[in-house]
């Protein structure tokens, strides 16, 4: 978090030892350690809360988008029904031909129904 080298920490410890004195130095170190722990826990909690709020804001934005899309789909008028395409009847040539008219135009006729397996065996 703080960018102190080992040499800088030694200089700070010597200055603190001279200012505070050797009898109060352990008590001061414990107090500084407690404050450092409190500060670190507080910063971690604040960071977690900010990240949670950012995630919650993203989720709210996505929910609003989905709600808007759903409302647009519900409020949009339904598409107009398309009239069914009429297939003109095949031209009749007047005679019986070997190929039915539907097959001569490239349209495949539905297959003939097959009898059940029991009837085919007898």
Nearest by Cα to 37 from 45, 26, 25: 45
How many H helices and E strands in the chain? Answer: 4, 0
From first to last of its 122 residues, the chain has per-residue pLDDT tens of 567 788 998 898 889 888 888 888 889 889 989 999 999 999 999 999 999 999 999 999 999 998 888 887 666 666 777 777 777 777 766 555 555 554 555 556 667 677 666 655 55
DSSP state of 105: T
Q: In whole angstroms, give the CA distance from residue 74 to residue 65.
A: 14
- Taking the model in full, what pTM does it have? 0.43
Q: In whole angstroms, give the CA distance from residue 117 to residue 17.
A: 104
First and final C-alpha spacing in the chain: 92
So what's the pLDDT on residue 116? Answer: 66
């Amino acid at each position: 978090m703080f960018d102190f080298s080992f040499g800088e920490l030694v200089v700070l410890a010597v200055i603190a030892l001279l200012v505070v004195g050797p009898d109060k130095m352990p008590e001061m170190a414990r107090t500084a350690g407690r404050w450092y722990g409190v500060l670190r826990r507080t910063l971690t909690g604040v960071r977690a809360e900010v990240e949670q709020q950012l995630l919650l804001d993203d989720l709210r934005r996505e929910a609003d988008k989905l709600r808007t899309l759903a409302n647009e789909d519900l409020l949009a008028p339904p598409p107009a029904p398309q009239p069914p395409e009429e297939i003109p009847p095949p031209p009749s040539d007047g005679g019986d031909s070997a190929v039915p008219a539907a097959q001569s135009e490239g349209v495949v006729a539905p297959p003939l129904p097959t009898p059940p397996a029991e009837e085919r065996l007898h």
